Amino acid sequence: MVPEKIEKALNEQITHEGQSSQFYLAMASWADVQGYNGIAQFLFRHSDEERIHMLKLLTFINDRGGFAIVPALKQPPLEFKNIHDIFEQVLKHEILVSTEINKLVELCLQEKDYTTHTFLQWYVNEQIEEEKMASKILDKLKLIGEDKGGLYIFDRDMGAMRT
Ligand code: OFO
């Protein structure tokens, strides 16, 4: 059985992952209408990935005798300054999510819930990858600066990049 305190915290994490999915979806839609189709494809895929993160939590809570709550949708930001702004926000967002995961891991140790602790290791590793990916993309964007040709190639490459 999942302890009540942990169930509550996991349900909060469901909200974070669902919100992440919405956030990536909003960025994808913005990039799409700006003509950055490759970046949009990357962000659409990432939005799907965040939904999978949410579903993994949902299944885990229910499988352990809890009740996973499907959260209400919150309006994500709709306007972005440019592509640099998008990926700066992505990195900031992923750092925030990592903080939430770390808090959850800490709580599991306090409550001696080693099952959930083990389950969460997948998320710990995933966050390392996501932060790394966002900061590598930002490094590339810094190199490109305002160069339109560079951005064109970057957009094309992002379309082929795996999340
Ligand atoms: Fe769920 O990994 Fe990003 O937020």
Atom of ligand 1 nearest to the CA of 16: 4
Burial of 55 (0-12, 13-18, 19+ CB in 10 A): middle
Helices (H), 34-162: 37-63, 83-110, 114-144, 148-160
- Does ligand 1 come within 6 angstroms of the Cβ of 123? no
Expressed in angstroms and rounded, the spacing between residue 127 Cα and the centre of ligand 1 is 7
Q: Are 75 and 132 in contact (CB under 8 A)?
A: no
Count of beta carbons in the 10 Å neighbourhood of residue 47:
20
pLDDT in tens, 53-84: 999 999 999 999 999 999 999 999 999 999 99
pLDDT 10s digits, 35-48:
999 999 999 999 99
Provide the whole-model pTM.
Answer: 0.95
Is 13 near ligand 1, meaning CB less than 6 Å away? no
Q: Is 113 in the pocket of ligand 1 (CB under 6 A)?
A: no
